Chain A
């Protein structure tokens, strides 16, 4: 099992460019999440999808959009990248119950110049 797969692993953008971060999970999980992590900081929730067909804002949604394409895939889009969005982005997935663990991808390191 691959678990949670994120692509790309690294990306450099210029200010104003757009891009989509891809995330896929093969564990048949209902819930998926996007987090960002700035240097020396904890994880901050950008958006989450409790189940297929639903998405909700997290702590820091401004400047991002998401799509829950199907049960497996949850993408994060930056429409007009800004230097403040330079960060490491993690995708995670889980089943719905409170005693279910989260599984994380290996992250995407994004630099916006």
Chain B
């Protein structure tokens, strides 16, 4: 299964942008890059996903490197409610069903 690598933790200040990186050097051509986040004491929730082009939605933006071996989740203005664990996973091809999550990145947002 294609794997992802994320920093264990990151810290940001409220109302500042946050860039959460993810490396996925073994990504295959059919793999979509998905991001989820898990707020304290809740189940994970979908944030955004993309294949090759950068993507924007109301929650965040996803910047995908040209070679697709890395991606960055961008929160344009962090709020205290964005404090969570963020997971980057790959979905597609052989890993379409066996979806594995790593430990993710714990984002702390300072007031």
Contacts and interface: CB of A to CB of B under 8 A. Distances in A.
Interface string B34-52: 1010000011111001010
B4 to A, nearest CB: 11
A102 B30 contact: no
Interface in A6-45: 31, 33, 35, 41-45
Interface residues of B, number: 26
Given A43-B44, A56-B98, A106-B43, A98 B92 contact: yes
A64 interface: no
Contact of A41 (B31, B44, B92, B103): B103
Interface in B70-96: 85, 87, 91-93, 96
A49 B48 CA distance: 23
B43 A105 contact: yes
Nearest to B43: A104
Interface string A42-62: 111100101000001011000
Q: Is the interface of B mostly helix, strand, loop or mixed?
A: loop
Interface residues on A, range: 20 to 34
A37 to B, nearest CB: 8
A59 B51 contact: no
20 contacts: A33-B99, A42-B101, A42-B102, A42-B103, A43-B87, A45-B99, A48-B98, A50-B97, A56-B97, A90-B44, A98-B96, A101-B46, A101-B49, A102-B44, A102-B46, A102-B99, A104-B43, A104-B44, A105-B43, A106-B43
